[in-house]
Structure 1
């Protein structure tokens, strides 16, 4: 089955993918990330701190260091890049999945099922109608 996993590019979503991808490796997977949730301009200082700990710390500091290790460390929890490798796919960013090139890339993956976890974009009918078995 062709399954598309749509997740936010944050640590909680990465942990969820670490549980799902190994269980779904017999399927053809596409993994799409949203880089943010909502408007990241002019964030309240408390939300900036939260964003740092949920996203920036891992995506900008830790994951590049881990992904740069050769040989790759054998760890229980993998980075987005390592999960893409395990799934046999390249991780893609879908920040505007309802229109334009992101919508076209999504259509090309022709998913049978979409699993959305903490994904930062509200899916419109044009996306929801594509997967044969719907969106979870």
Structure 2
């Protein structure tokens, strides 16, 4: 969270940015992340965040440009579409991790079987993977 001094510095810049964009500044929540990196973020849930390093190092004009850029992500609907894309892709990412783990386990187990046993395991594993991927 932002300290009182950071809020005092950031809020006038934020009010100017939102006024120029024609949006209500109270719609969004300003966050200050405790980080030594120069970064900012627009997150779903009407959150605009900057790092503590950015707060201390950027002049007001550059802070305004950064926060205006992040506000543009909200106005353009990018934060919600990114969140939706993340959730829609989640089953595929989980399936990939599961199949990668199964594949590693099968590789270790296959060392104790003949060539025919390895081929059988690969055939079963490939069939399950193909079915899962085509279903997702």
Shorter-chain TM range is under 0.3
Which protein has the larger Cα radius of gyration, Structure 1 or Structure 2? 2
- The structure showing larger relative contact order (alpha-carbon pairs under 8 Å, at least 6 residues apart) is 1
Q: Which has the higher helix share?
A: 2
